[in-house]
Structure 1
Amino acid sequence: MSENQERKRTARERIQRERQLDKARERRRRTLIVASAVVGVLGLAAVVGLVAANSGKDTKDGSSEAGPLSAPSGVQGEEQLAIPVGASDAPSTLTVWEDFRCPACAQFENALRPTIHELVEAGKIKVEYHLATIIDGNMGGTGSLRAANAAACAQDAGKFAEYHDVLFMNQPPEPDDAFADNGRLIELAGKVDGLDTPAFRGCVNDGTHDSWVEKSSTAFQEGGFRGTPTVLLNGESVFPTKGEEQISVANFKKWVEEANKGKQPGTRQPSPAGSAPTGAPAS
Structure 2
Amino acid sequence: MALGRGGTLLPPRFVCPDVSETNREGKRTARERMAEERERQKARDKRRRVLLVSATVVAVLALAAVVGLLAANSGDDKKKDTSGPVVAPKGASGDGGLAIPLGKDGAKSKLTVWEDFRCPACKQFEDMYRSTINELTTQGKLKVEYHLATLIDGNMGGSGSLRAANAAACAQDAGKFAPYHDELFKNQPPEPDDAFGNNDKLLDLAGKVDGLVTDTFKKCVNDGGHDAWVGKSNEAFQKAKLRGTPTVLLDGKDIFADQKNPLTPQKLKAQVEKADQ
Same fold judged by TM-score > 0.5?
A: yes
Query: Within 5 Å, which residues of 2 pair with 1:10-159?
Result: 60-61=77-78, 64-159=81-176
Structure 1 residue 60: Cα displacement: 4.1
> Among the aligned pairs, what percent are the same residue?
61
CA contact (8 A) 2:82 2:230 kept: no
**From 246, 250, 264, the counterpart of 1:248:** 264
Could you list the per-position Cα deviations for residues 21-60 of structure 1 after superposition, in whole angstroms to 9, with x for gaps in the alignment?
Answer: xxxxxxxxxxxxxxxxxxxxxxxxxxxxxxxxxxxxx984
CA contact (8 A) 1:60 1:146 kept: no
CA contact (8 A) 1:100 1:147 kept: yes
Could you list the per-position Cα deviations for residues 168-219 of structure 1 after superposition, in whole angstroms to 9, with x for gaps in the alignment?
Answer: 0000000000000000000000000000111000000000000000000000
Q: 1:65 to 1:113 in 2, by over 3 A?
A: closer
Give SS of 1:93's match.
Answer: strand
**What RMSD in Å do the two structures reach over aligned CA positions?**
1.6
Could you list the per-position Cα deviations for residues 91-118 of structure 1 after superposition, in whole angstroms to 9, with x for gaps in the alignment?
Answer: 1101000000000000000111010011
Structure 1 residue 88: Cα displacement: 1.1
Could you list the per-position Cα deviations for residues 206-253 of structure 1 after superposition, in whole angstroms to 9, with x for gaps in the alignment?
Answer: 0000000000000001002000000001001111328x3211121111
Give SS of 2:213's match.
Answer: coil
Output the amino acid matched with 2:275. Answer: A
CA contact (8 A) 2:89 2:170 kept: yes
Distance in 1 (alpha carbons) for counterparts of 2:234 and 2:268 = 26
**From 177, 197, 204, the counterpart of 1:160:** 177
Q: Which residue of 1 aligns with 2:26?
A: none
Give SS of 2:275's match.
Answer: helix
Output the amino acid matched with 1:225. Answer: L
Report which of the two has the higher share of helix.
2
**Unaligned stretches of 5+ residues in structure 1:** 1-57, 263-283
Normalised TM-score (structure 2): 0.71
Q: Which residue of 1 aligns with 2:275?
A: 259
CA contact (8 A) 2:89 2:172 kept: yes
Structure 1 residue 64: Cα displacement: 4.5
Distance in 2 (alpha carbons) for counterparts of 1:59 and 1:210 = 13
Distance in 2 (alpha carbons) for counterparts of 1:123 and 1:130 = 20
Give SS of 1:141's match.
Answer: coil
Distance in 2 (alpha carbons) for counterparts of 1:159 and 1:169 = 16
Q: Which residue of 1 aligns with 2:256?
A: 239
Show structure 1 runs of 4+ deviating over 6 A. none
CA contact (8 A) 1:59 1:66 kept: no
Larger Rg: 2
Aligned residues: 203
Output the amino acid matched with 2:271. Answer: W
Normalised TM-score (structure 1): 0.69
Q: 1:127 to 1:91 in 2, by over 3 A?
A: same
Q: Which residue of 1 aligns with 2:39?
A: none
Distance in 1 (alpha carbons) for counterparts of 2:194 and 2:212 = 23
Q: 1:193 to 1:65 in 2, by over 3 A?
A: closer
CA contact (8 A) 2:141 2:272 kept: yes
Higher RCO structure, 1 or 2 (CA under 8 Å, sep 6+): 1
CA contact (8 A) 2:114 2:149 kept: yes
Q: Which residue of 2 aligns with 1:186?
A: 203
Give SS of 1:114's match.
Answer: helix
Structure 1 residue 161: Cα displacement: 0.4
**From 224, 235, 243, the counterpart of 1:226:** 243
Distance in 2 (alpha carbons) for counterparts of 1:222 and 1:144 = 18
